[in-house]
Structure 1
Amino acid sequence: MAGFYEQKDQDGITIGWQAKVRRKGFPTQTKVFRTRREAADWAAIIESEMVRGTFAPRTEADRTTLGECFERYLAEVTPGKRVKAGQGEYSFIANWLKRPLSKRSMSDIRGVDVAKVIRDMEAEGKSANTIRLHLAVFSNLFTVAKSNWGMTSLDNPVSGVRRPKLPGGRERRLHPGEMGALMGAVDLNMACLIALAVETAMRRGEIVALTWDKVNIKNRSIFLPRTKNGNARTIPLSPAAMVALENVPPRRNRKDADSVFGLSDDAVDDAWDRARIATGIPSGWGDDALHFHDLRHEATSRLFERTDLDIMEIRAITGHKNLQMLARYTHLRTANLADRLAGAKRGGVVYGKRDSE
C-alpha cells in the first residue's frame, strides 16, 4: 500500500510530498514530489505495475536527470556515428541541455512535457524538420537508456506525442539562364562541382567527400562506399559529368590532393552564396530562392524527364531511400508518357491522322 508524507522546511512550511509504496515481494519504492496529487498519481502507477507483474525498479531512472543522460550519450553514443550525423547531434543535444526539462529525472518525464517543448520550439521559429530532428535524438536517448543503461522501467515519452507535420518537398528548379549565370560567377573548380551535382544528383556532402580513388574514368562511374542512408551506391557518369571531372583543376602539391574538389561544406556554401548574390538570386526559403540542395532536385527531375530510365534505375543513381520519396517526380514521367501516347499508332491511325497523311 502507499503512504504519503508531508515534507517541510526548517520553518515548518510544506515544500513537497513523499510517496512510499510497500508491497510484499517488492522493494519499497520512495519518491518526493511537489504536490500530493503528483505523489498519488506516481504511487498508483507503481502499485498497478506491481499487481500486473510489469514492475521494474526505478532507482537508476529516478536519480539520473535528462541532462546527465545526454552528457553520457555524447560521450558514449555520438562519437560512434558518422561525422555528419554526430555534428548534428551535438547541436541538438546542446539545445536540450539549455531547457529546464534537462534538470528533471528520466523517470519523471512524460509525453505532456515533450509536447510543451514542441510548442516552445514552434514559438521560437524552429522548422518542423528541425523539431523532428531534436525529437529523434531525444527518443534515441530513451531507447539507449532503457536497453543499455539499466533503466528498464522507462517508457519513451516521444512515442505518443504528435510531431510537427513536414511541409511538402521544395520544387525549385533552375530557371532559364540561371545555370550559365551561376557558372560564370564562380571559379573553375566550383563550376565543375556544380556541373557534377546537376548531372549526378549527388548530395553536397557526397561531393565534398569525393576522392579520386572513387572515380573510375574507364568505367565512367563514381563509387560512394557510404552515403547519407548508410548504403553504398555506384553512380554512372554522363558525358557532361565526365567533362566536369576532366576539367577539375589539379591540386597535386596540396595536402588535399586526394580530394576531387578540395572544398569543405562551409567553403561550398560560401562560394554558392557569393554566386547567388552576384547573379541576383534571392536567399531564404521562398519559392524564388535557390539552395545548393535544389540542384539535387533539378538533377532528379532531369532523370525523370528522360524516357530511357525506369524508376528503379533512377533510384539507384540518386540513392533515395525508398520509392515513396520519388513519388513527387512521377508527374514528370506522366507528361512524357502523354507525349509518347500522342504519337502512338492505333490501327494505322495516329490520333486521327492516317499514315499516308
Structure 2
Amino acid sequence: MATIRKRGPAQWEVRIRKRGWPVTCKTFETKYDATRWAREIESEMDRGIFVSRVEAESTTLSEALDRYIDEYAPNLSDPRREKNRARAIQRRPFASRFMATIKGKDIAAFVKERQEEGAGPNTIRLDLALLSKLFEIAATDWGMESLSNPVKRANKPKVPAGRSRRFQDDEEERLLAACDERFACVVKFALETAMRREEIATMVWSQVDLKNRSVLLPRTKNGESRTVPLSPAALNILKSLPRTISGPVFGMNKDKITRAMKAAADKAGVPDFRFHDLRHEAVSRFFENTNLDVMEIRAISGHKSMQMLARYSHLRTGRLADRLAGMKRGDTGS
C-alpha cells in the first residue's frame, strides 16, 4: 500500500510497499500530485505491468548525453560532429531536466527555439534524430524501460526537396579547365564513382584493388562498409597517380577539397555548384547512361533507402524522351 507523508513546508513523499514488487518512492510538491501518482503506480502493480522509473527519474538529459558521447558516438562514422551536436543540446535549459519529465511539448519548444535561431529544417531533424536515438538507447540498454520517446510525438520540420544541381551546357568542361591537375583527378573520380567527399578524401591505397577493379570503403557515412566498382576511366585515374605507402590517395582532406571546388567554380563561372553535386551528377548518369538496375546503382552509391536514392537521381527530360522512343540507355542516337 502507499504511504504519503509531508516532508518540510512544500514536499510530499510517497512510499509504496507491495508484495512481489520493490519499494518505490517519489517526492512531490503537492499532495494531489503525490496521491495521483500513488494510484497510478498501484494500478500498474495490480495489473502486473509496473516498470521501475527510478533510472529515468534520476538521470538528467545532460547526464544521458554524457553517456551517449562516451559509449555510442565513437562508433559513428563522424564522432566529432555527433559529439558537438550533443554538447550543443547539453547547453539548452531543458538538458538539466530528468529524462522522465521531458515530453513532446518540450521537444516542440526546442524545435521552435531552433527555428527562431535560424537553424535549417535538416539541421533540426539531425538534432531530433540524436535525441530520439538517445531515448531509445536509454529505454533498451540503460534500464529505463518505463521511458517513452517524446521525439516520436513531436512534429518535425519538413525538409526541403534535395538539390538538383547538375552540369549545364559546357559547365563540366569549364570547371575541369579551372582545376589544377590534382583536383581535376578528384572531380573526374567523383563523377565516375559517386563517392562522397569524405570517402574520397580518406581513401588510401590499401583500400584500392586494381586487379579486381574496386575500392573497399570500410566505414561510410551510414556506418557500413561498401565496395565500389571502378569503371575503366576511374581505373585510369588511379593508375595515373603516384603511389605512396601511407596517406590519402589524392592527398587532399575534405576541407581542402571543398575550398578547391569553390575556387574552381568561381574561376570557371559555374554558379552555385558544390562538390556534393558531383554525386548527384554521377548517380543520375548511372541511370541515364548505363544498363545498371536500381539495386546495382544503390549498391554503388551506398544509399540506405530507395527514397534517399530517388532524391539524388535527377534525370534529364530529353533522355527520358529518348527512352520512350525506344533508345537504350547509354545510346547516343548516332
TM-score tier by shorter-chain length is: 0.7 to 0.9
1:293 pairs with 2:289: no
Distance in 1 separating the partners of 2:326 and 2:67 = 65
Structure with bigger RCO (C-alpha 8 Å, 6+ apart)? 2
Letter in 1 for 2:60: T
Q: Which residue of 1 aligns with 2:27?
A: 31
Q: Residue 152 of structure 2 aligns to a residue in which SS?
A: coil
1:72 pairs with 2:61: no
Scaled by the length of structure 2, the TM-score of the pair is: 0.84
Distance in 2 separating the partners of 1:328 and 1:334 = 16
Contact in 2 for aligned 1:19/1:40 (Cα 8 Å): no
Letter in 2 for 1:327: A
User: Is the deviation greater in 125-134 or in 235-244?
Assistant: 235-244
Which residue, 260, 267, 272 being the options, matches 1:278? 267
- Unpaired runs of at least 5, structure 1: 9-15, 283-288, 345-357
Correspondences of 1:267-346 after superposition (within 5 Å):
267-282=256-271, 289-328=272-311, 332=315, 336=319, 338-342=321-325
Distance in 2 separating the partners of 1:242 and 1:269 = 23
Q: Residue 30 of structure 1 aligns to a residue in which SS?
A: strand
Contact in 1 for aligned 2:124/2:157 (Cα 8 Å): yes
Cα deviation for residue 55 of structure 1 reads 1.8
1:265 pairs with 2:257: no
Contact in 2 for aligned 1:208/1:261 (Cα 8 Å): yes
CA spacing shift, 1:183–1:37, aligned 2, 3 Å? farther
CA spacing shift, 1:337–1:62, aligned 2, 3 Å? closer
Cα deviation for residue 4 of structure 1 reads 7.5
Cα deviation for residue 28 of structure 1 reads 3.9
CA spacing shift, 1:279–1:52, aligned 2, 3 Å? farther
1:198 pairs with 2:168: no
Q: Which residue of 2 aligns with 1:240?
A: 233
Q: Could you give the per-residue CA deviations for residues 58-98 of structure 1, whole angstroms, max 9, x where no partner exists? A: 2232222111111122122222x1341x1221111011111
Cα deviation for residue 338 of structure 1 reads 4.1
Scaled by the length of structure 1, the TM-score of the pair is: 0.79
Distance in 2 separating the partners of 1:300 and 1:109 = 42
Distance in 2 separating the partners of 1:243 and 1:318 = 20
CA spacing shift, 1:50–1:294, aligned 2, 3 Å? same
1:156 pairs with 2:152: no
Aligned residues: 324
Contact in 1 for aligned 2:175/2:270 (Cα 8 Å): no
Contact in 1 for aligned 2:76/2:223 (Cα 8 Å): no
Distance in 2 separating the partners of 1:95 and 1:317 = 35
Contact in 2 for aligned 1:132/1:164 (Cα 8 Å): yes
Correspondences of 1:1-357 after superposition (within 5 Å):
1=2, 3=4, 5=6, 8=9, 16-18=10-12, 20=14, 22=16, 24-25=18-19, 26=21, 27-33=23-29, 42-43=37-38, 45-79=40-74, 81-84=75-78, 86-248=79-241, 250=242, 252=244, 257-282=246-271, 289-328=272-311, 332=315, 336=319, 338-342=321-325
Q: Could you give the per-residue CA deviations for residues 89-111 of structure 1, whole angstroms, max 9, x where no partner exists? A: 11110111110111111121112
Aligned residues with identical type, % of pairs: 47
CA spacing shift, 1:234–1:175, aligned 2, 3 Å? same
Letter in 2 for 1:277: D
Q: Could you give the per-residue CA deviations for residues 298-320 of structure 1, whole angstroms, max 9, x where no partner exists? A: 11111111252222222222222
Letter in 2 for 1:136: A
Q: Residue 229 of structure 1 aligns to a residue in which SS?
A: coil
Q: Which residue of 2 aligns with 1:353?
A: none
Contact in 2 for aligned 1:18/1:39 (Cα 8 Å): yes
Cα deviation for residue 112 of structure 1 reads 1.4
Q: Could you give the per-residue CA deviations for residues 207-256 of structure 1, whole angstroms, max 9, x where no partner exists? A: 112112222333433232332234433333233323322333x374xxx7
Letter in 2 for 1:142: F
Q: Residue 154 of structure 1 aligns to a residue in which SS?
A: coil
